[in-house]
A and B are shown apart, each in its own frame.
Chain A
Amino acid sequence: NAGVTQTPKFRVLKTGQSMTLLCAQDMNHEYMYWYRQDPGMGLRLIHYSVGEGTTAKGEVPDGYNVSRLKKQNFLLGLESAAPSQTSVYFCASSLGSAKNIQYFGAGTRLSVL
Chain B
Amino acid sequence: GESVGLHLPTLSVQEGDNSIINCAYSNSASDYFIWYKQESGKGPQFIIDIRSNMDKRQGQRVTVLLNKTVKHLSLQIAATQPGDSAVYFCAENIDTGGFKTIFGAGTRLFVKA
Contact = CB atoms under 8 A, between A and B. Distances in A.
Contact of B4 (A48, A56, A88, A102): A88
A37 B102 CA distance: 12
B7 to A, nearest CB: 5
A101 B106 CA distance: 18
Contacts of B83: none
B89 A43 contact: yes
- Interface residue tally of chain A, by bracket? 20 to 34
A103 B4 contact: no
Contacts of B93: 99-100
B100 A45 contact: yes
Nearest to A92: B43
B47 to A, nearest CB: 10
B1 A56 contact: no
Given A40-B105, A44-B103, A99-B93, A106 B43 contact: yes
A50 B7 CA distance: 34
Interface string B77-113: 0000000000001010101001111111110000000
A41 B105 CA distance: 5
Contacts of A39: 3-7
Interface in A14-54: 33, 35, 37-45, 48, 50
A63 to B, nearest CB: 19
Contacts of B102: 45, 59
Contact of A42 (B3, B98, B105): B105
A59 B16 CA distance: 39
A2 to B, nearest CB: 13
8 contacts: A43-B44, A45-B102, A58-B100, A88-B1, A101-B46, A104-B45, A105-B43, A106-B41
